[in-house]
Copies of this chain bind each other. A is one copy, B any other.
Amino acid sequence: MKRIYFFLITFMLCTVGFAQQALWGNSPIVSPDIHEDNTVTFRINAPKADKVQITGDFLPTQKIKTQRGEYDAPGAADLIKNDKGIWEYTTKNPLSPELYSYSFIVDDMRTMDPANVYMIRDVATVTNVFLIGGGRADLYKVNKVAHGNVSKVWYNSPTLGIDRRMTVYTPAGYEVGNKKYPVFYLLHGMGGDEDAWSELGRSAQILDNLIAQGKAKPMILVMTNGNASQEAAPGESSLGFKSPSMQLPKTMDGSFEESFPDVVNYIDKNYRTIKSKQGRAIAGLSMGGYHSLHISKQYPDMFNYVGLFSAAIMPNNNVKSAIYENFDEKIKTQFNKKPALYWIAIGNKDFLYKANKDYRDYLDKNGYKYTYYESEDGHIWKNWRIYLTEFVPMLFQ
C-alpha cells in the first residue's frame, strides 16, 4: 500500500472553517493573557463595537439597586482598543491566586470570550474561567500527582421513584487491592446539581492534591443532586437541552433529606466502603449545608463528621415535612451521640451570616460542641473551595 499524505492540511482546513470563517484572518488572539507578575490582559476582537466591558469576580463588586433592595454584583471595567484594533483590558494589580470567572459585555450584550474555550456553567449562567496559581489555589490545579477517577453514576432512588445521577470520586489506588474507604458526601447549593462541586468546586483536584501531600486520608467523595425532582443536571436527563431553572420543585421541602439513605445504601453496596458512622462525613454549601444539617440530625447514627458551608439553616414556615419536626429533640439526640466534628463556616459578608450566628447561639446555649471557621467575603465559590480545603484534612483522622 502506497503512502499518501494529504491528510493533515486538508483536515485542518475543514475543521478550522467553523471557527474562523473569515472572522479572524490574522494571528489568534490570546485571552486571558496571564503575565509573569499575575496581572492579566483580556482581549477581544469586536471591530465594530462602540463599547466593550469585562465583568468578573476579580473586579471590585458594585452595588445594584432593585425593587427588593441593594445587593453586590461583580464589577465591570472598560476595555480600550489597542493599535491593532483589538479591545484590551489589563488588571491594575496582580491578581491573587484563585479560580476566577468573567464575561465580556459588547455593546450591552453579554458574551463569552471567543479566545478562551474554558467555561463553566453554574446554575443557569455560563462564564469563562481562568486560574492564577500559587498558595491555596495550587490545590485547585491538576498537578502531576496520582489522580482519582471521577464517575457519573446512575442509581435508583426507591424513595423518589426515579433513576438519578451523581458524581463519584474514587481516590488514586482504589482499583487495586481490597482496602475499604471512608466516604464523604458533598452537597451543592440551590440551582446547582451533581456537576457543581467537580466543576467550579474543583473537588477532584483538591482531593488529589491533599491526598498526595499526605494532608487528607484517601476517601471516596460522593456528590449528589439535591433537587429531588431532577434525574440529573441540565442536559443530562430526559428533559434534554431544556433551559435550566432556578426554581425547581422539591428542593428544600424534606424530599431530598428523606431519600438520602437511598444514596448511602447504593454507595455501600457498590463501593468498598467503611459501612459505619465512623467512616462517613457529610457537608454542603448553602442549600447543601441546610441538607447536611437536616440529614445528619434525621439520621444521627449515619455521619460522624458534618460540615455546614455558608448554610441555610431553617426551613420556610410553610413547609410541612416530618424531616423538620421536633428540631430541638433531634439536634439533642445528634449531639448526645457526639459527632467527631460539627463544623460551621461562613464569610463575614454572607447574607446568611446572621442566620448562622443565631444557630451558633442556639448550639452554644445548649452546650453542643462545634467548630467555627469565619472567612472574608460573601456567598461565593471562592469561600466554598476554601472551606473544602479546610474541612477535608480533618476527616477520618
Q: Which residues of A contact B (CB under 8 A)?
A: 1-19, 21-23, 28, 30, 44-50, 55, 57, 64, 66, 68-69, 71-74, 76, 101, 103, 105-112, 114-119, 121-127, 129-131, 133, 141-144, 146-154, 163, 165, 172, 175, 189-191, 232, 234-238, 240-241, 243-244, 246, 252, 270, 286, 290, 312-317, 324, 327-328, 331, 351-352, 355, 358-359, 362, 378-379
A-B contact pairs, 19 of them (CB 8 A): A3-B316, A4-B314, A7-B352, A12-B246, A13-B71, A15-B125, A17-B71, A18-B74, A46-B107, A48-B107, A107-B107, A112-B112, A117-B235, A118-B235, A142-B240, A146-B154, A148-B154, A149-B151, A151-B152
A-B contact sample (10 more), CB < 8 A, given A133-B240, A144-B163: A4-B313, A11-B351, A17-B72, A17-B73, A18-B55, A18-B73, A46-B109, A110-B114, A117-B124, A142-B240
- Chain B CB count within 10 A is highest, among A116, A244, A316, for A316
Contact for A64 among B17, B69, B172, CB less than 8 A? B17
The distance from the CB of A310 to the nearest CB of chain B, in whole angstroms, is 10
Q: Are B358 and A21 in touch, CB under 8 angstroms?
A: no
Q: Are B5 and A131 in touch, CB under 8 angstroms?
A: no
The distance from the CB of A145 to the nearest CB of chain B, in whole angstroms, is 9
CA distance in complex: A240, B15 (Å)? 24
CA distance in complex: A147, B111 (Å)? 35
CA distance in complex: A126, B115 (Å)? 10
With contacts A11-B379, A126-B119 taken as known, whether A109 is within 8 angstroms of B106 at the C-beta atoms is: yes
Q: Which residues in B have their C-beta under 8 angstroms from that of A312? A: 7, 11
The distance from the CB of A221 to the nearest CB of chain B, in whole angstroms, is 14
- The 4 A-B pairs with the shortest beta carbon distances in the complex, nearest first, are A17-B73, A151-B151, A48-B107, A19-B125
Contact for A5 among B1, B125, B154, B317, CB less than 8 A? B317
The distance from the CB of A169 to the nearest CB of chain B, in whole angstroms, is 10
Contact for A150 among B30, B55, B151, CB less than 8 A? B151
With contacts A21-B74, A150-B152, A151-B152 taken as known, whether A379 is within 8 angstroms of B14 at the C-beta atoms is: yes
With contacts A18-B74, A18-B101 taken as known, whether A149 is within 8 angstroms of B147 at the C-beta atoms is: no
Q: Which residues in B have their C-beta under 8 angstroms from that of A57? A: 18
CA distance in complex: A257, B148 (Å)? 25
The distance from the CB of A127 to the nearest CB of chain B, in whole angstroms, is 7
Q: Are B238 and A142 in touch, CB under 8 angstroms?
A: yes
Q: Are A109 and B44 in touch, CB under 8 angstroms?
A: yes
Contact for A142 among B69, B112, B115, B236, CB less than 8 A? B236
CA distance in complex: A76, B328 (Å)? 64
Q: Which residues in B have their C-beta under 8 angstroms from that of A238? A: 141-144
CA distance in complex: A10, B1 (Å)? 69
Q: Are A149 and B144 in touch, CB under 8 angstroms?
A: no
The distance from the CB of A88 to the nearest CB of chain B, in whole angstroms, is 15
Q: Are A118 and B241 in touch, CB under 8 angstroms?
A: yes
With contacts A106-B109, A312-B7 taken as known, whether A14 is within 8 angstroms of B142 at the C-beta atoms is: no
